[in-house]
């Protein structure tokens, strides 16, 4: 294929192939390559991990070891509207876990799940960097701070049917 290589049911775009070729020769390149792959696809699929293994020569077990060790990397496709709730120290102490529980309850989600319509997923994150606004929740690139559980339905409503 011109500009892409097929792997099972995945085709890497030329941008990713060029990135991999540039980085695979550098020590400690795996995390950078995984970040770029997730930036493009939203998660690291099995077929993407297999293709990365073939292209870099890094064993698949090592790739999965890194992907499953670091909380940032996802092996399942997130919802269209990815909700991240900060559990850094300030947010945790001010009710971050309660925000996760309420959001999942309202959406009917178990941990690491996506709503049936594919619109929402909810994940804890280690720190958003907005400690002065604790507790903080993000939806995509939108940040909401100084939250209480009763504010969650209004935030979710902004993203429904969008």
pLDDT at 72: 81
pTM, to two decimals: 0.73
pLDDT at 2: 36
Q: How far apart are CA 3 and CA 8, in angstroms?
A: 16
Each residue of 130-152: pLDDT tens digit?
Answer: 999 999 999 999 999 999 999 99
The answer to whether 162 and 122 are in contact (CB under 8 A) is no
Hey, which bits of 22-118 come out as E strands? 81-86
User: What residues in the chain have per-residue pLDDT under 70?
Assistant: 1-9
pLDDT at 138: 97
Burial of 68 (0-12, 13-18, 19+ CB in 10 A): exposed
pLDDT at 4: 42
pLDDT at 147: 97
Tokens of 86: 């900060």
pLDDT at 37: 97
Supply the angle between the helices 14-23 and 46-56 in degrees, to the nearest 10: 50
Element (H, E) at 143: strand 142-144
The CATH architecture of the domain made up of 81-159 is 3-Layer(aba) Sandwich (3.40)
End-to-end CA distance of the chain: 35
User: In the chain, where are the structural domains located?
Assistant: 5-69, 81-159
The answer to whether 152 and 102 are in contact (CB under 8 A) is yes
């Amino acid at each position: 294929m011109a500009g892409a290589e097929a792997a099972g049911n995945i085709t890497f775009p030329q941008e990713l192939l060029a990135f991999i070729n540039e980085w695979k020769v550098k020590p400690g390149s795996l995390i950078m390559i995984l970040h770029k792959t997730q930036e493009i696809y939203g998660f690291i699929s099995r077929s993407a991990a297999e293709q990365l293994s073939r292209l870099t020569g890094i064993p698949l077990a090592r790739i999965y070891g890194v992907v499953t060790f670091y909380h940032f990397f996802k092996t399942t496709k997130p919802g269209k509207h990815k909700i991240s709730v900060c559990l850094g120290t300030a947010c945790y102490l001010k009710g971050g876990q309660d925000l996760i529980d309420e959001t999942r309850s309202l959406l009917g989600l178990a941990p690491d799940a996506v709503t049936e319509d594919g619109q929402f997923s909810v994940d804890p994150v280690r720190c958003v960097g907005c400690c002065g606004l604790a507790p903080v929740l993000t939806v995509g690139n939108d940040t909401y701070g100084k939250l209480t559980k009763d504010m969650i339905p209004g935030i979710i409503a902004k993203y429904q049917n969008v």
